[in-house]
Structure 1
């Protein structure tokens, strides 16, 4: 009887020890997977936001454009594709978007840049263009909002690339 209890106890200890070792490895893998996942979700280039009239996609993000005269600022250039999904003409432009920088402040389109996109879009057609936004130098991440007439209808988390 004592032998069978000792064998059972030994077997239980062995199984518990192996299970504990297995859990440690799984926990490490999950935490490193989470870190990788969090890094990847900070840049939503390619994400499509559907609104009642438009499907909007951020196609690319660049920084460092030399238009800014302020040494403490940099230019963020966001390429956008807006597809009119309604049956009537609709419009979109760079002024419909806002940028909230990692300093918590919100920035509107840089009005002195003549290359900012904006136009009427025929039903079923797509307008592709760039919006220019002056943000603080050293900004690492922004939230990019689609907010026509001040009403937020979509957002993207974007990583600001180095110059």
Structure 2
């Protein structure tokens, strides 16, 4: 009886060990996924800035080796004075290590003065390499970095 119980416990322990070895490690799997900070709000001295969506692959890009990345943002002026923000205040650093400024030929890029307490929404267009999987978006008014987001480029 004791022998059977010992064998049963040993078999159970081995079975559990094998099942645990075959299960995917969720910590490792999560680390391999690119970070995506859509909906993250960053507070700067004058503005609260939130990336609300990221789109890619639209036909605005005329270069077959590039794609258009469209980043939609919500920006609130948290200062007591009027301030401004526009798509040109942001730059994108692609996973190729290069930075890309706003695509200046796109008339739908946002840019406006924002009264104290007011919130605006707008889109910035950035032409990036076609095979880009992730980018870092920087808010750099007048060349001074004040905020950043890690974003995944969605499949077309």
Given the two structures, how large is their TM-score scaled by the length of structure 2? 0.84
Q: Which of 61, 81, 98 is the aligned partner of 2:91?
A: 98
- What residue is the counterpart of 2:26 in the other structure? 32
**Quick check: 1:85 aligned with 2:107?**
no
Tell me how far 1:38 sits from its aligned partner: 5.1
Distance, in Å, in 2 between the alignment partners of 1:71 and 1:132 is 16
Q: CA deviation at 1:35?
A: 2.1
How many residues matched?
149
Most deviating of 109-118 and 30-39: 30-39
As a proportion of its length, which structure holds more helix?
1
Please give the alpha-carbon distance, in whole angstroms, between the structure 2 residues aligned to 1:37 and 1:131: 29
2:43 equivalent to 1:70: no
> What is the TM-score when the length of structure 1 is the normalising length?
0.80
| Aligned partner of 1:157 among 124, 128, 150 | 150
CA separation in 2, counterparts of 1:152 and 1:38? 27
Using the TM superposition, give the Cα deviation of residue 30 of structure 1 relative to its aligned residue in structure 2, in angstroms. Answer: 9.1
Task: Return the offset for 1:34.
Answer: 4.1
Structure 2: gaps (5+ residues): 1-8
CA RMSD of aligned residues (A): 2.5
